[in-house]
Chains A and B, each alone.
Chain A
Amino acid sequence: MTAISESAAFKTDETYTPEGKYQFRNSPEGVRRLPFPFPDDDYMYSMNLEPHVPAGNGALRAAFDIDEHYVSECTHRAQMLSDMPGVHYLALPHMLEAQWDLLELIFESYARDFPEHFTLTKNGNEWRWQNRLLGIDDSFTFGDPSTLPMDPMEYATRQAQGEFVVLEEKDNTLVIGAGMTTQRADYSLKFNLGMSFFEFHGPVPKLHEMGILDRALKFLLRMKPGHPVRRVNWSLTVNPRLETSVETLPEWAPDRATVNGENAGEKVYLRIELQPLHRLPRSNAIVFPVRTYLVSLAELVEYAPDWAKRIHRALASLDPELVDYKGFHRYHEAAVEWLSRHDDGAPLATGYPWAPEGIQPGGN
């Protein structure tokens, strides 16, 4: 299996909005390459940070993964940015150096990991960037913002899948200094800008008691350039809607009341977040990317039956505080009920799918 198989070519007509009637679906290969986030039948937070080294041929092969939804996600980002200017992309003035660092990291990674789609040619600081998927061929001077049509971070991340939050190291903590977040899961970039590590994690239950935040911060502050780490996280959402920010909550929150035991398979999506963190070399900032994957419960059952069994068990036994925090108490029961019809109770492997002997999608 290649990272993006021939049969799952890039789709250009997908939508992530009700106006576009949610024209979104995954190919079988697209599902089976996902970074499935449930290593055990019971789920609880853990410090699941590990070195971000290539693993397998799926979503963890590249430093920054792209998949069959790349083109449609970039289109969606452009739409969101024009619909609500100043809400989804923000950068404080002192983050300019980190913006260039991020542009370099994304472009170098894409060109190295997907040479058939991207080429970066450097002649000193005179760079040429070719993005064949979006039909872009630009030349600019690295470090000179006047040679780009917009901020370097906006320019780079308009051509990237996933969100990017850039954290500045200051006074022994990390502070949010910039973000491209058109796919936010229930928070506000404007509200969080300038917050420190403990502040922006404030709403997450149990983390403080478990001591996870202290350890995570110490670990992150020791991160070095060239040694990225990753973690995965997840939530549930209704409809394949990428943009679920606080600002648009009235538009999407009522959808949560539309789920029942019959339609949960089609309505409820697992939202997987792959987060490969990098220390940036010139700015000493840390980039926190959130690459989001959407997959419906029905798609899991059809193309990855063992993962469907696993998520059934993890959701059924989930701590009520997490159900609440993740925002799906309205349809938690319906999702579990629907999934229970597809779980025969057979024992499943433990470990992430990319680990040796970890849980595989199952089926064929």
Chain B
Amino acid sequence: MSESQHGALRLRVKRIEAVTPEINRYTFGAADGSWLPPFSGGSHITVLIPADGDTRRNAYSLMSSPYDTSEYQIAVRRVDDGKRGSLAMHTNVREGDILLAGIPANLFPVSKHARHHLFIAGGVGITPVFAQLEELSLKGSSFELHLAVRGPEHAALGHELKERYGERVTLYGHDGESRLNTMDVLAGRPLGTHAYVCGPTRMIDDVVNSAHALGWSDSNIHFERFEDLGSTGDPFSVTLARSGAVIEVSPEQSLLEAVEEAGHKLPYLCRGGACGECETEVLELDGTIDHRDDWLSESDRATCKLIMPCVSRATCTKLVINA
């Protein structure tokens, strides 16, 4: 299986297709030609995108079959005014290029207990559903999809799914007229139906509110949780009080990793913000700490006198820690 020493995958861009005016589909293989790690429907990978001399880390759902690990596919919608990661994917990345990505993780798995799976998606939110439907289809599970798009030119992915799954797929907006009404879709469903929604925030809110109004329980309503940021983010620098060393923390590494790379030691155990081992005193701070651990209490966080270097970062002009 393809895996580099830091657990990052090296992916070769095999194909790039424009599927709508705003969305490209990228097909990746392992750079060394081996198999990619298996995954489950609803999984995403974090792609490291070179952009303007910097690196963006964007999470994209895998839309290829979970049962074919010779390839991964993602779809990227170009966002012109965002952090420019998607723009770089559209303008800089070419077929044959090598990109680094994390191992797939799943924050949006299908329920193993559902008797019927009801998917509601909007726009590029269809991507995880591609892999989920493939998984359910191969298992012979019962499912249906309601997909809303903004117009005929945005409907290509929907037509692909319609071709695969026929009557089980209903499109809205592809004809410029029909509209998705979530109350209608969710009403009158038997117990054992699980609903999944993936799309813009207002669509998720709409589906969750409608489902609640119709008496659905939360355990039967699924939507993708917020992206797990891990320990990466914007760069900052930290001063170790005891040695006076000033250490730059790059976007790709945690504070702990940067300190270790510079040849210094901090205590650690879990490296995931849970065990408390690396808790370190903050001596000086001009800015704010981005607490990402499960260890510090709310009051500890508010005082900004402590930091967990294995996951937490800072947005600051100065940070001195007691290490």
Contact = CB atoms under 8 A, between A and B. Distances in A.
Interface of A: 46-51, 94-95, 97, 168-171, 214-216, 218-219, 222, 224-227, 229, 279, 281-284
B270 interface: yes
B104 interface: yes
Contact of B274 (A169, A219, A282): A219
A226 B40 contact: no
B269 A49 contact: yes
B39 A48 contact: no
Contacts of B40: 281-284
Contacts of A46: 275
Contact of A284 (B3, B109, B270, B294): B109
Nearest to B272: A219
B219 interface: yes
B271 interface: yes
Given A47-B270, A222-B272, A225-B103, A168 B295 contact: no
A218 B274 contact: yes
B43 to A, nearest CB: 8
Contacts of B156: none
A287 B295 CA distance: 24
Contacts of B96: none
B111 A50 contact: no
Given A281-B37, A284-B109, A224 B103 contact: yes
B276 interface: yes
A170 B111 contact: yes
A96 to B, nearest CB: 10
Q: Which 9 A-B pairs have the closest CB atoms?
A: A219-B274, A47-B275, A94-B112, A281-B38, A224-B105, A226-B103, A284-B109, A49-B270, A215-B274
Interface string B94-116: 00000000111110010111000
Given A169-B109, A281-B40, A50 B269 contact: yes
Given A170-B113, A281-B37, A284-B106, 15 more contacts: A47-B270, A47-B275, A49-B269, A49-B270, A50-B269, A94-B112, A95-B112, A170-B111, A219-B274, A225-B104, A226-B3, A226-B103, A229-B272, A282-B39, A284-B109
Nearest to A219: B274
B103 A47 contact: no
B54 interface: no
| Interface hub of B38, B66, B102, B273 (most chain A Cβ within 10 A) | B38
